[in-house]
């Protein structure tokens, strides 16, 4: 223990808040917690409503309880958070850092590197090693009173999207993690754990963030709808939550896009040289000329966001189109007629074959049919989707979809 401590450098006393760190000047990294209040209005909703505390994080209560226990006992290990995007991995670790150090001390105690930064072997050997090898000897200024823990004597290094790191950088990182564990904890965030070195995996406590439940997504969506005064029906909210597929980021981005597209400004009507302001016709918000005054919020009207708006924004096939395709394939024995129906719907509704296959498979599994029929459908559609993703002709694969579904119907008879 003493040998390791002797090798470590020691930081100078805490710098004042007026000093700009060289790493901040070059990287320009700022978190939502450090932004001024007036900047929150221009933030996208994904950042504006990012959780600031562990209690605000949606879902994953078992993982949060375990991490809280680690912090309470001051026994935080190296962490590996992995899972699909939009499930709260980055929000969780930033909220954890805020709890340990408080918002005022995060810049001195936390080093955050994302996939957008250069994270080759040189960064690991220089920037990460320099930060990890220095000890903080000054007081954190009573972070316990600001929501932080006064017992934390270690720094935190966050490597977001670490599965994009090179193999050589991962190999160099494993020794640094072992050598400087006394005063540094690493948190590795990745979408795919199999892309990380087994040596890194063995040095971390792993937590898998599964796709969020629909109930967890609905809680935050309802909160945003209320605070932003979004005009949206309950059926549209149900469609939004379902189509987000466990991705909170996708749900908020789609909601904000639909809210922005619902803006309308009354169209002035020119009559005999005069302008009549009251009309029943509305036009989409026009582009303002350079230097033109901003349109007052009082003049902006909003349409109600419907289920159709949600499906159009996500570009998912609407349910009525899938029902028509299903009905045609199951009841029409003429293959040519089935093919013409699907092709006409693809053109008129702007549908992609990959989306049709996904929606069709979700509807087919709901049918009560013999096992051999279901096997025929699912195996055939999976093979077609693989060929489409590999660059196969969409026109030919559309005919293959008709053949697979009709082949299963023949087995039923």
Among residues 208, 226, 246, the one where a domain terminates is: 208
Tell me how far apart the terminal alpha carbons of the chain are, to the nearest angstrom. 76
Query: 131-135, 240-244, 375-379: which has the minimum mean pLDDT?
Result: 131-135
Judge if 88 and 36 occupy the same domain: yes
Q: Is 407 helix (H, G, I), strand (E, B) or coil?
A: helix
CATH code at position 331:
1.20.272.10
Query: 232-246, 263-277, 337-351, 385-399: which has the minimum mean pLDDT?
Result: 263-277
pLDDT in the model for residue 82: 95
pLDDT in the model for residue 18: 45
Q: Mean pLDDT, to the nearest integer, of 381-399?
A: 94
Q: Is the pLDDT score of 226 beyond 70? A: yes
pLDDT in the model for residue 312: 87
- The domain tally of the chain equals 3
336 falls in which pLDDT band (50, 70, 90)?
Answer: very high
CATH code at position 60:
3.40.50.300
Q: Is the pLDDT score of 119 beyond 90? A: no
Judge if 263 and 361 occupy the same domain: no
Q: Is the pLDDT score of 165 beyond 90? A: no
- CB-based contacts of 314: which residues, under 8 Å, 6+ apart? 243, 254
Cβ neighbours, 10 Å, residue 310: 27
- Condensed to tens digits (0 to 9), the pLDDT of residues 167-213 reads 888 888 888 888 888 889 999 999 999 999 999 999 999 999 999 99
In three-state form (DSSP H/G/I as H, E/B as E, the rest C), the secondary structure along 151-197 is CCCCEEEEECCHHHCCHHHHHHHHHHHHHCCCCEEEEEEECCHHHCC
324 falls in which pLDDT band (50, 70, 90)?
Answer: very high
Q: Mean pLDDT, to the nearest integer, of 363-377?
A: 93
Query: 250-259, 293-302, 350-359: which has the minimum mean pLDDT?
Result: 293-302
- CB-based contacts of 14: which residues, under 8 Å, 6+ apart? 108, 138, 139, 141
Where helices occur in 306-368 by DSSP H, the ranges are 307-314, 319-331, 335-349, 353-364
Judge if 330 and 379 occupy the same domain: yes
Of 86, 71, 394, 35, give the one whose Cα is nearest residue 217: 86
Query: 97-106, 260-269, 397-406: which has the minimum mean pLDDT?
Result: 260-269
Cα atoms in the 13 Å half-sphere on the side-chain side of 394: 12
Q: Is the pLDDT score of 21 beyond 70? A: no
pLDDT in the model for residue 152: 67
Judge if 137 and 280 occupy the same domain: no
Range of the domain at 373: 317-412
CB 83 within 8 A of CB 208: yes
Where helices occur in 8-83 by DSSP H, the ranges are 22-27, 45-48, 61-72
Among residues 146, 181, 208, the one where a domain terminates is: 208
Judge if 305 and 400 occupy the same domain: no
Judge if 102 and 233 occupy the same domain: no
Judge if 15 and 163 occupy the same domain: yes
Q: Is 81 helix (H, G, I), strand (E, B) or coil?
A: strand
Judge if 330 and 391 occupy the same domain: yes
- CB-based contacts of 333: which residues, under 8 Å, 6+ apart? 406
343 falls in which pLDDT band (50, 70, 90)?
Answer: very high
pLDDT in the model for residue 74: 87
Judge if 58 and 87 occupy the same domain: yes
d(CA 13, CA 317): 60
CATH code at position 269:
1.10.8.60
293 falls in which pLDDT band (50, 70, 90)?
Answer: low
Judge if 127 and 255 occupy the same domain: no
64 falls in which pLDDT band (50, 70, 90)?
Answer: very high
Among residues 313, 340, 373, the one where a domain terminates is: 313
Judge if 229 and 91 occupy the same domain: no
Judge if 179 and 221 occupy the same domain: no
pLDDT in the model for residue 105: 83
pTM equals 0.76
Quickly list DSSP for 30-44. Answer: --GGGS-GGGGGGS-
């Amino acid at each position: 223990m003493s040998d390791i401590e002797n090798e470590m450098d020691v930081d100078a006393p805490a710098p004042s808040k007026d000093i700009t760190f060289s790493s901040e000047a070059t990287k320009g990294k700022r978190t939502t917690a450090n932004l001024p209040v007036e900047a929150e209005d221009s933030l996208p909703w994904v950042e504006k409503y990012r959780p600031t505390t562990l209690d605000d994080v949606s879902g994953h209560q078992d993982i949060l309880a375990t991490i809280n226990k680690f912090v309470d006992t001051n026994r935080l290990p190296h962490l590996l958070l992995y899972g699909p995007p939009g499930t709260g991995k980055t929000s969780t670790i930033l909220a954890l850092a805020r709890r340990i150090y408080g918002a005022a001390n995060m810049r001195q105690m936390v080093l955050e590197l994302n996939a957008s930064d250069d994270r080759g072997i040189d960064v690991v050997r220089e920037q990460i090693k320099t930060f990890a090898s220095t000890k903080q000897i000054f007081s954190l200024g009573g972070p316990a009173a600001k929501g932080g823990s006064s017992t934390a004597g270690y720094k935190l290094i966050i490597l977001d999207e670490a599965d994009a790191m090179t193999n050589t950088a991962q190999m160099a990182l494993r020794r640094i993690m072992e050598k400087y564990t006394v005063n540094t904890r690493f948190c590795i965030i990745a979408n795919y754990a199999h892309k990380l070195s087994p040596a890194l995996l063995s040095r971390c406590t792993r937590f898998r963030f599964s796709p969020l439940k629909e109930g967890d997504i609905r809680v935050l969506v309802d909160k945003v709808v209320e605070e932003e005064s979004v005009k949206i029906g309950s059926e549209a909210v149900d469609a939004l939550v379902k189509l987000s597929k466990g991705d909170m980021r996708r749900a908020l981005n789609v909601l904000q896009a639909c809210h922005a597209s619902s803006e309308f400004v009354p169209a002035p009507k020119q009559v005999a040289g005069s302008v009549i302001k009251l009309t029943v016709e509305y036009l989409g918000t026009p582009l303002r000329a350079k230097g033109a005054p901003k349109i007052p919020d009082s003049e902006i009207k909003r349409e109600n966001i419907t289920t159709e708006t949600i499906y159009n924004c996500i570009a998912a096939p609407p349910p009525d189109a899938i029902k028509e395709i299903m009905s045609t394939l199951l009841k029409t024995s003429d293959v040519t007629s089935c093919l013409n129906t699907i092709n006409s719907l693809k053109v008129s509704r702007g549908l992609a074959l990959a989306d049709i296959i996904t929606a069709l498979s979700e509807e087919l599994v709901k049918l009560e049919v013999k096992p051999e029929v279901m096997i025929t459908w699912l195996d055939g559609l999976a093979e077609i989707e693989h060929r489409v993703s590999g660059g196969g002709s969409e026109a030919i694969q559309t005919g293959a979809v008709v053949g697979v579904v009709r082949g299963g119907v023949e087995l039923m008879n």
